[in-house]
Every structure is written in structure tokens, then in C-alpha cells.
Amino acid sequence: MEFRKTAIFGSAALAAMAAISLPLSSTLAETAEAEESAFRQAVKFGFSGQEIQGGVMLGDAPAGTQSLSFDGQPVPIDEDGKFIIAFNRDAGQSAQMVATLENGQTVKKFFNIAPRKWKIEHVNVARRSGGPSAAFMARRKPELAQINAARQVRSDSKGWRQTFVWPVKGRISGMFGSQRIYKGEPGSYHSGVDIAGGTGTYFVAPADGVVTLAAKKPFSLEGNLLMIDHGMGLNSAFLHASQILVKEGQEVKRGEPIGRIGATGRATGPHLHWSMKWNNARIDPILLTGPMN
Ligand SMILES: [Zn+2]
């Protein structure tokens, strides 16, 4: 994965600590020493990526780090210390990571998550009232169960470590995070990026992964839905396909054709909707690929 910004945590705090020189009692001095030592070790944590809503960060933990948690949830660490975290579209201003180091010491890192300016469209019509029909819910329930089951799959794919590529190039017809407000009432935001393309156009895996869902018949909203796990809680979903070229359980390589664009499910025209999640966080695929060129 390629990121645009690198942040090393603890460095600003260290500089601030170095600038302060006060006479300290032995207890205070010991505490300060311990904190400084903790920070020194913490400095060995590297981060690349963007501290923004919908953003992803790739991290590097010092050798021997025992455990990591991010906002209370455990974060697995790969053999070489690499790990991944991400910020939900609606993430608040701050998040906290706690690491237990080799010597048992715990260190904390605070993230300042920059808010995004989402594309918001105010429309002067009321949001459809009445809710979904019983017939729709009867059809929808098993579909949601399949989607949730696919998201629970944790493959040992290393795709999460790669630089992601665009599954297909074309006009971006819908941005991640955009939202309509119906007479003051917000609708749900757009969960992925839409890429317009002719029906039958091939799209490829943006990174290595394992197929966790390959719809056998079109889902009511998603149409022919394909889901891929990239490892470490990171996954992709591809919606509205006219054809799926891979099977559940199959390993796919970055750049390998996995399906063809269509307009199945709820779609106004042929396009590929690509959405990504890290655990429960909805993230912006563009922050993994960079702009299309
Ligand atoms: Zn879409």
C-alpha cells in the first residue's frame, strides 16, 4: 500500500520533554525517565497513511510488541511488525491506540482525525416513507446474512500490505461518502466509489485476496455481488456485475480479472460500485489507490 504522509508518533512529545528542564524529586524523575523511555520505544512505531475520515494507515510496530488495540478492539500484528488500522467515514475527532511493548510497558498513541468535506446534496423531496415491505424484508434477510458471513471470514491474504490498483478505469460517477438530505432528513451515505463503464467490461482485483462471496443469483440491491478479503480485517465488495469470473474460496492476485461490469440489482446504468471496509469502518477506496490516471 502506498501512502502520502508519514507520521512517527511521540517525536513532538519528545521534543517538548527535552525543552523542559526542571528540578525533580527522585520519584518524579523516575516517572519522567520511565515516560521518556516509553516514548523512545514508541518512536519506533512508524505510520504511513492519512489521519482522515475514511482513511487507512499502515503501521510498523517495534520487534517484540505483545499486543495492540485501536479504540478498544484488538489489532493483529504480522510477523514483521506490520499492521493496519482505518478510520470510519463518520469517525470522531480522535482515536487511541494502546500498545503493550516487549517489556510489558504500555504506550498510547492518539490520532487526530481530520474531518472530510463530503459531497452533500439537499433535495426538496421527502424521504420515501413507510419503510421496506414485508416481501422485500423476506428476500433481504438471507442476503444480509450472506454478506455478514462473508465479512466474518478472515483469510491470511497479504493483499492489505499492497499498493492497491483501480479495478477498472473510467469516469467516476459517484464518490465515497456523498449523501442526500431529503427535506432536512439525511439519507444513507454512498458507501463506495462508482466507476462508469460499459456492460461486459472486465474489472480486476485491486489487490491480492480470497473470494468470500460470489453471488449465484443477483441480490436485490447489490445485484451480482462479489466480495474479497484482503486479510487483517480489510475487504472489498464489487456490486452490480453482469458476470462474476471467480468462485468462493478462490485466491485472486492483484490485476487478475474477477468480473464484468453490469447494472444488476439497484442501478440506474452499468457501473462498478467498489466499497471497502476495515472491520466495521467504512473506508474510501481512493485513499488506497490514489487518484486515477
Ligand atoms: Zn455506488
> Three-state DSSP class for 178?
coil
Q: Tell me the mean pLDDT in the region 230-238.
A: 98
Contact at 8 Å (CB) between 56 and 283? yes
Look up the domain containing 14 and give its range: 6-112
Task: State the distance from the centre of ligand 1 to the C-alpha of 262, rounded, in angstroms.
Answer: 12
Q: Tell me the mean pLDDT in the region 231-250.
A: 98
Write the pLDDT tens digit of every residue in 88-141.
999 999 999 999 999 898 988 899 999 999 999 999 888 876 778 899 999 999
Give the model's pLDDT for residue 17.
Answer: 39
For residue 14, is pLDDT > 60?
no
Residues near ion ligand 1 (Cβ under 5 Å): 174, 194, 273
Looking at every residue in the chain, the average pLDDT score rounds to 88
Q: How far is CA 216 from CA 209, 244, 257, in A?
A: 20, 9, 18
Cα–Cα distance, 44 to 26 (Å, whole number): 27
Cα–Cα distance, 215 to 224 (Å, whole number): 5
**Domain containing residue 105: CATH number:** 2.60.40
Write the pLDDT tens digit of every residue in 26-51.
566 666 666 556 655 566 889 999 99
**How many degrees, rounded to 5, is the angle at CA 261 between CA 287 and CA 231?**
45
Cα–Cα distance, 107 to 42 (Å, whole number): 7
Last residue of a domain, one of 112, 140, 170: 112
**Domain containing residue 148: CATH number:** 2.70.70.10
Task: State the distance from the centre of ligand 1 to the C-alpha of 239, rounded, in angstroms.
Answer: 8
**How many degrees, rounded to 5, is the angle at CA 32 between CA 26 and CA 38?**
135
Is 1 within the bounds of a domain? Answer: no
Task: State the distance from the centre of ligand 1 to the C-alpha of 174, rounded, in angstroms.
Answer: 6
Cα–Cα distance, 222 to 169 (Å, whole number): 20
Total structural domains within the chain: 2
> Three-state DSSP class for 29?
helix
Task: State the distance from the centre of ligand 1 to the C-alpha of 60, rounded, in angstroms.
Answer: 33
Task: State the distance from the centre of ligand 1 to the C-alpha of 196, rounded, in angstroms.
Answer: 10
DSSP per residue over 67-93, as a string? EEEETTEE----TTSEEEEE--TT--S
In this structure, the answer to whether residues 128 and 273 fall within a common structural domain is yes
**Host H or E run for residue 257:** strand 257-260
Task: State the distance from the centre of ligand 1 to the C-alpha of 191, rounded, in angstroms.
Answer: 7
Contact at 8 Å (CB) between 157 and 230? yes
Grid cell locating 258: 474477477
Task: State the distance from the centre of ligand 1 to the C-alpha of 67, rounded, in angstroms.
Answer: 36
Write the pLDDT tens digit of every residue in 149-188.
999 999 999 999 999 999 999 999 999 999 999 998 999 9
In this structure, the answer to whether residues 56 and 167 fall within a common structural domain is no
Task: State the distance from the centre of ligand 1 to the C-alpha of 270, rounded, in angstroms.
Answer: 11
Task: State the distance from the centre of ligand 1 to the C-alpha of 188, rounded, in angstroms.
Answer: 12
In this structure, the answer to whether residues 143 and 276 fall within a common structural domain is yes
Is 205 within the bounds of a domain? Answer: yes
Is 16 within the bounds of a domain? Answer: yes
Task: State the distance from the centre of ligand 1 to the C-alpha of 58, rounded, in angstroms.
Answer: 26
Contact at 8 Å (CB) between 81 and 65? yes
Task: State the distance from the centre of ligand 1 to the C-alpha of 190, rounded, in angstroms.
Answer: 6
Task: State the distance from the centre of ligand 1 to the C-alpha of 84, rounded, in angstroms.
Answer: 25
Cα–Cα distance, 255 to 201 (Å, whole number): 14
**Host H or E run for residue 179:** strand 179-182
Task: State the distance from the centre of ligand 1 to the C-alpha of 155, rounded, in angstroms.
Answer: 26
Contact at 8 Å (CB) between 237 and 221? no
